[in-house]
Every structure is written in C-alpha cells, then in structure tokens.
Amino acid sequence: MLRNKAIIAGAADSDIGKLPEMSGLALNAQAAKRALDDAGMTLADVDGLLTAYSLTEPYFMLGTVLAEHLGIAPRYCASLVVGGGTPGAALHHAAMAVATGQAEVVLVTAGENRATGQSRDAAVQALTQVGHPYFETPYGPLVPAFYAMVARRYMHEYGTTREEMAHVAVRARDHAVRHPASPMTDRLDVETVLASKPIAEPLSMLDCCLISDAAGAFVVTTPDRAADLFHPPAWLWGIGESHTHEHITLAPSLTETGALRSGRDAYAMAGITPADVDFAELYDCFTIVPIIEAEELGLAERGAGGELFASGETAIEGRLPVNTHGGLLSYAQAGASGGLHGIVEAVRQLRGAQGERQVENHDIALVHNEGGVLSSHCTMVLGREKR
C-alpha cells in the first residue's frame, strides 16, 4: 500500500523540439537539473536513479551511464524498459524504494534526441522495434500500423469515428499552443486532421504523435521532506500497473486493455472513484488511444470516449480537462519521454498558477502511461494534498 508513502518533490521538462546541439544524455541531464532546482535540491541529495532507454545513442546500461554522466554514485539505480509506460512504472518503483528505505531521494528521467539524433530512415527503423522481430516485422509494419489495427477494430465494435478521433488532435493542439514551451503554435481544425497524409489507414499524419528531442524528470522522496521543498509536493495517492502482452498479435483483445486493471488498482489504492478526478493526463501516442483509455479508466462509458472528446468536455475550460499541455500529439514525444511530460504537467497543474492553461479544479490528477501496443500500462492518482 503506497498511498501517502511518497511525494513528487519537483518536476521539469528539458527544452523541447528540435535541438541538434543537445545529446540525449544532455537532455536528461538538463531535465534532471531543472527538476532538482524545482524541488530545492541538488544532485548531492540524490541516492536513487531510474531512467528509461535510448534508441538513438548506443549506450547499454543507461541507468549507470546517466549516473556517470551526472557525476553521482547512487545506491539504487536501474534502467527500465516498458516503452511509453516506463515513467509511470519508474514512479511506482521509486515510491516502493523510498517507502521501504532503499533510497531517500530518487531521480527519475526519460527522453532522448529522437528528432535529430539519427537519420530520418534510422528514426523510422526505430519505430519498427516494438514489433515482433520474427512474426510481425517481416510484414512491413511501423508502429502506426499496429495502432491502426486497434483503431479499425475499435471503430468496428463501438462505432468510434475518424471525426471523433480528429477532435482528440484538435483539442491537444489547442492546449499545446497555450504552453510557453510548446513547439506547436498553430491551431488545428477537424478538416485539416482528416485531410492530412494517410500513414496507416485509418490513421493519418495528424492522428500520430510528434517525434521530438525532449526529456523530462521528477524527484520522488518521502513525505517527511514535504515542508522543506520549494513548492508544495504532489502526493502519490494510488498507482497500478498491468502488462498483458508485448506484441499486438498476442494481445488478449484489441479493444479491452490492461488500463482496466491498472486503473482499478490505482483508484482502489487512492480510495477514490473516476468521478472524483479533476483532470487527466492520458497517453495519446495516436488519437484512438486516449479515447480507449478514457473509457477504461471510467471517465466515459464504453463506446462514448469519442463523444467525450468531440463534446468539448475535455477542454481546459471543460468539465474534465485532458492533456492540458498538449500531450504526445502536440507537445512532445521522445522515446519514453511522452508519459513523463504528462506527470510533469500534472504536478504543475496541482500546484496551480499555470497561466492560460491552468485548470479550475486541481485537487486530484489522473495520469496514464502506456507502452508497446497497449501492452504495458501504469495508472497514477496524484493529489494536491495528503490523502
């Protein structure tokens, strides 16, 4: 039981966008320094380090590589690889570490120079790595092709439309343009999304997330440090994971995912219901994904997730703001960084005072990370105060 056993003391993103002057490790280091500054800490306070993986740089033991790069010698250190689910899983591990005294201050980072750290062809090649090397890759898929098959099946079973999916992209962009660090500054409309270049039907270019240079970081510690921080912390109320498969061929279902279980566990630990959530930072690698997640996390009835986004209720001014920073679709996605930006955004929204993108009610945040092809899920409930 991890409720009230860990707090996020600080959180920050690196610079975001196309940054050819920065290596992937430098992006992680920049985000780490900013997150520690945000917490009122320094690298000397860090005795635990968790990071993700890199597809752009040829490092093997990325956890220890990053520790070396930062000049620290932690007593708790690992690189985790559950795709986009990695930041949430790392929060889970970090919370367990501080709750059991294995570490006092765990720094979590993720991200890489995905936009400029490799050639265009190599970047596309990297997108095949989630596929099964022997029984999927030989048929010529990229990641969008896998999610396209999910979208097609979801549309078939529940009547979700391309227009509803386009609204997800439009809303994400509307939020991103209000973020001072967003690389995307022009609003979108549904017609533009629908008319964008087909990638893997039914997904078009603007149904797909960005490919960025970006990293994010947060600092996890014990609640007894809450009073010493620069800012009020975010309290971990609940967290749950579920890992149902890796490859889409062996997914138990294309329309029921591990988010059902990870969400149930997170809500149970937090002692809340979906109706209590003030705002949500969902994983939106493709426009179909947050629609499914919203339904499975209880924010909409099954089959009504598309309507939730089309209705305007997920706007920052709406009943249930979703992806207030613009998400992977319009803010940033670099390897495992996408979900981490959602955690950073939740921490900031809980504090308040985020200018024109601040949500009105900001006591309880729901965050969901997802990796692979709806393979690895982590749901988090964060609170502005102790639960």
Partner 1 sequence: MEPWPDIPGPDVNADAAPYWAAAAEGRLVIQKCADCGTFRFYPRHLCPGCGGDAAAWTEVSGRGAVHSFTVVHRAPTPAFRALAPYVIALIDLDEGPRMMANLLGADALETAIGDPVGVVFQERAGGVRVPQFVRRSG
Residues in the site for partner 1, rule: CB under 8 A? 124-125, 127-128, 132-136, 138-142, 144-145, 148-150, 152-153, 156, 197-203, 248-250, 254
CA gap 254, 267 in Å, rounded: 23
Closest CB to partner 1 among residues 136, 345:
136
Q: 200 vs 259, which CB is nearer to partner 1? A: 200
Question: Which contiguous run of DSSP H or E holds residue 31?
Answer: helix 24-39
Q: Which is nearer to partner 1, 60 or 134 (CB)?
A: 134
Distance between CA atoms of 101 and 107, rounded to whole angstroms? 15
The span from the CA of 144 to the CA of 136, in Å, is: 13
Closest CB 152 distance from partner 1, rounded Å:
5
What is the torsion angle, in degrees rounded to the nearest 10, for the CA atoms of residue 94, residue 100, residue 103 and residue 105? 60
C-beta of 116 vs 196, nearer to partner 1 = 196
What residues contact 151, with CB distance under 8 A and at least 6 apart? 160, 165, 202, 203, 207, 286, 287, 288
Smallest separation, CB 47 to partner 1 (Å): 40
- According to DSSP H, which parts of 130-161 are helical? 143-158
Shortest Å distance, C-beta 58 to partner 1: 21
The smaller minimum CB distance to partner 1, of residues 73 and 122, is found at 122
The least CB distance from residue 139 to partner 1, in Å, is: 5
Q: Provide, rounded to whole angstroms, the least separation between the CB of residue 148 and partner 1.
A: 4
Give me the least distance between CB of 292 and partner 1, in Å please.
Answer: 14
d(CA 10, CA 221): 10
Q: Which is nearer to partner 1, 95 or 130 (CB)?
A: 130
Q: What separation in angstroms does the CA of 23 have from each of 62, 112, 196, 343, 376? A: 14, 7, 31, 23, 27
Beta bridge partners of 242: 377
The Cα angle at residue 157 between residues 137 and 303, in degrees rounded to 5? 115
Beta bridge pairs of residue 243: 376
**Smallest gap, in angstroms, from Cβ of residue 141 to partner 1?**
5
Among residues 133 and 271, whose Cβ is nearest to partner 1?
133
Judged by beta carbon, residue 198 or residue 312, the one nearer partner 1 is 198
Query: Which one, 147 or 331, has the nearer CB to partner 1?
Result: 147
Record the tokens describing residue 62, joined without a space: 């990325």
Q: How far is the CB of 194 from partner 1 (least distance, A)?
A: 15
Burial readout 152-165 (b: 16 or more C-beta within 10 A, e: otherwise): bebbeebebebebb
In the bound complex, what is the minimum distance in angstroms from residue 18's beta carbon to partner 1? Answer: 20
Please give the backbone phi and psi of residue 112, each rounded to the nearest 5 degrees, phi first: -165, 175
Closest residue by Cα to residue 156 from 254, 248, 250, 247: 254
Of the candidates 72, 14, 64, 63, the one whose C-alpha atom is nearest the C-alpha of residue 41 is 72
